[in-house]
């Protein structure tokens, strides 16, 4: 078996893993990344599109902000609406923080580019990844590389950034986890059409939730609440545009929805999941490997950024002999994880049509409150625009 040695093996080359390798390198720590998918697959998968102020600040501070500064679209807030009513929440006025429209695909491309320029070793298309000796200070990761050759990487630390289905989370022996599944999914489309709005519209509607988001001046992103198990191929383009027009309020107060060519469609299930602890021995978890949030409120990617921002200095100190930050990592990270878990659950349950008429009245009451009380609006804004990284 071929052997390699590094300080940190990172399992998973998504945004959490690649940003961690970047932050570690800035602290003088070497890493090797392993990933089951191909580089092209990882770079192209369509995910979230909103960055919090603190994620943008961090990416900028570590030299990843050039294209972001040029191409990201700064938004002061969002619209919240229900039939006949549309209200703007201005996060900058409310809490002094903004959000940025910049797709995860773009963050991933910036990371791949930066790591390539720095000579980062990333093994793509590996299989049979296994973690070993995580309770010792000489852990290792074995895998079969893209050419079919068995490999072992010995390290001081392993970090699992491999999502909820990867081998890292289940390598933690005494785990406790919390789950919530939701009785609906999101049907997401990308369309080659200029957005019909300047900022995102989150719409409560008796037919189901709809969201008007965007990726650029010429690409719009939309989501519709659909029953679990919906096959996206069974909806015609006209059905999709009709549902979006009805739920987003086409024709109300002079607003109209401009349809366009649909270039991508997919259905995403929604769930909340937290797995603790986020560290066992020399294995640490970051991002989706430890927690999943439903997409409403766009917290998933931002939470992954916050995890690795905390973890990189903790590992750098650990490798220099100071374990204090690493010992606190799980507890510190989980404070933010639970805050975002609550916020995502709250946004989800406030906006998705419920079966129960009592729940419907509570949702409408909640929507009226967050759009009419400055204090309630500020709470939403603080969570949406993102708490400071150290929260």
Class of residue 51 by CB neighbours under 10 A (exposed 0-12, middle 13-18, buried 19+) = buried
Residues 54, 296, 371, 383: which binds ligand DHB (CB under 6 A)? 296
**Closest Cα to residue 288, out of 311, 263, 307, 269?**
307
Minimum distance of ligand DHB from residue 214's CB (angstroms): 7
Does residue 134 belong to the site contacting ligand DHB (CB under 6 A)?
no
3-state secondary structure of 375: helix
Minimum distance of ligand DHB from residue 341's CB (angstroms): 14
Q: Which is nearer to ligand DHB, 296 or 332 (CB)?
A: 296
Q: Of 43-51, 156-164, 335-343, 357-365, which segment contacts ligand DHB by CB under 6 A? A: 43-51
Does residue 303 belong to the site contacting ligand DHB (CB under 6 A)?
no
Please name every residue paired with 188 in a beta bridge, in sequence order, or none if there are none: 223, 266
Does residue 200 belong to the site contacting ligand DHB (CB under 6 A)?
yes
CB 80, CB 59: distance < 8 Å:
no
Minimum distance of ligand DHB from residue 292's CB (angstroms): 13
Residue whose pair of structure tokens reads 């009380």 in the numeric block: 373
Minimum distance of ligand DHB from residue 155's CB (angstroms): 34
Count of residues that bind ligand DHB according to CB under 6 A: 11
Please name every residue paired with 225 in a beta bridge, in sequence order, or none if there are none: 186
Could you tell me which residues come within 8 angstroms of residue 119 by beta carbon, excluding any fewer than 6 positions away? none
Q: Of 17-25, 148-156, 295-303, 314-322, which segment contacts ligand DHB by CB under 6 A? A: 295-303
Binding-residue pattern over the window 46 to 75 for ligand DHB, x denoting contact by CB under 6 A: --xxx-------------------------
Phi and psi dihedrals of 237, rounded to 5? -55, -40
Q: Which is nearer to ligand DHB, 167 or 297 (CB)?
A: 297
Does residue 337 belong to the site contacting ligand DHB (CB under 6 A)?
no
Q: Which is nearer to ligand DHB, 21 or 220 (CB)?
A: 220
For residues 355 and 366, what is the distance between their CA atoms, to the nearest angstrom?
17
Does residue 283 belong to the site contacting ligand DHB (CB under 6 A)?
no
Binding-residue pattern over the window 212 to 241 for ligand DHB, x denoting contact by CB under 6 A: -x-------x--------------------
Does residue 289 belong to the site contacting ligand DHB (CB under 6 A)?
no
Residues 208, 297, 301, 340: which binds ligand DHB (CB under 6 A)? 297
Q: Which is nearer to ligand DHB, 152 or 265 (CB)?
A: 265
Does residue 295 belong to the site contacting ligand DHB (CB under 6 A)?
yes
Minimum distance of ligand DHB from residue 42's CB (angstroms): 17
Could you tell me which residues come within 8 angstroms of residue 129 by beta carbon, excluding any fewer than 6 positions away? 11, 34, 36, 141, 142, 143, 162, 166, 167
Q: For 214, left (φ over 0), alpha (ψ -120 to 50), or beta?
A: beta
Please name every residue paired with 122 in a beta bridge, in sequence order, or none if there are none: 33
**Closest Cα to residue 22, out of 110, 125, 100, 145?**
110
For residues 85 and 344, what is the distance between their CA atoms, to the nearest angstrom?
23
Please name every residue paired with 261 in a beta bridge, in sequence order, or none if there are none: 192
Sheet harboring 176-192: ordered strands across?
85-90, 77-82, 201-203, 210-214, 220-227, 176-192, 261-276, 291-292
Minimum distance of ligand DHB from residue 101's CB (angstroms): 7
Catalytic residues: 75, 202, 295, 299, 384
Minimum distance of ligand DHB from residue 166's CB (angstroms): 22
Q: Which residues form the interface with ligand DHB (CB under 6 A)?
A: 48-50, 200, 211, 213, 221, 295-298
């Amino acid at each position: 078996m071929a052997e390699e040695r590094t300080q940190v093996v990172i399992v998973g080359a998504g945004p959490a893993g690649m940003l961690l390798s970047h932050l570690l390198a800035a602290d003088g720590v070497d890493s090797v990344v392993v990933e089951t998918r191909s580089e092209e697959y990882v770079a192209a998968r369509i995910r979230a599109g909103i960055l919090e102020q603190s994620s943008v600040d961090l990416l900028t501070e570590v030299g990843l902000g050039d294209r972001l500064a040029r191409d990201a679209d700064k938004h002061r807030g969002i619209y919240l609406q229900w039939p006949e009513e549309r209200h703007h929440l201005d996060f900058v006025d409310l809490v002094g923080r903004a959000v940025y429209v910049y797709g995860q695909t773009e963050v991933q491309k910036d990371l791949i580019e930066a790591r390539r320029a720095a000579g980062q070793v990333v093994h793509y298309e590996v299989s049979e990844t296994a973690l070993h000796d995580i309770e010792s200070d000489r852990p290792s990761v074995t895998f079969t590389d893209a050419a079919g050759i068995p490999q072992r990487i010995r390290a001081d630390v392993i970090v699992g950034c491999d999502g909820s289905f990867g081998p890292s989370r289940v390598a933690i022996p005494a785990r406790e986890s919390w789950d919530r599944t939701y009785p609906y999914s999101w049907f997401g489309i990308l369309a080659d059409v200029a957005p019909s709005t300047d900022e995102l519209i989150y719409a409560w509607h008796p037919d189901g939730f709809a969201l008007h988001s965007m990726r650029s001046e010429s690409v719009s992103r939309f989501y519709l609440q659909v029953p679990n198990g919906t096959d996206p191929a069974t909806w015609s383009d006209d059905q999709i545009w009709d549902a979006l027009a009805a739920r987003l309020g086409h024709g109300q107060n002079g607003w109209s929805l401009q349809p366009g060519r649909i270039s991508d469609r997919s259905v995403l299930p929604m769930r909340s999941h937290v797995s603790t602890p986020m560290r066992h021995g020399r294995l640490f978890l970051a991002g989706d490997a430890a927690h999943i949030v439903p997409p409403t409120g766009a917290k998933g990617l931002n939470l992954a950024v916050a995890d690795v921002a905390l973890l990189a200095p903790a590992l750098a100190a650990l490798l220099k002999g100071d374990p204090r930050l690493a010992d606190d990592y799980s507890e510190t990270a989980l404070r933010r994880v639970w805050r975002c878990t609550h916020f995502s659950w709250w946004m989800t349950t406030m906006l998705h049509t419920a079966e129960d008429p009592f729940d419907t009245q509570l949702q409408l009451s909640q929507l009226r409150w967050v759009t009419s009380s400055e204090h309630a609006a500020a709470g939403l804004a603080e969570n949406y625009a993102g708490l400071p990284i150290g929260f």
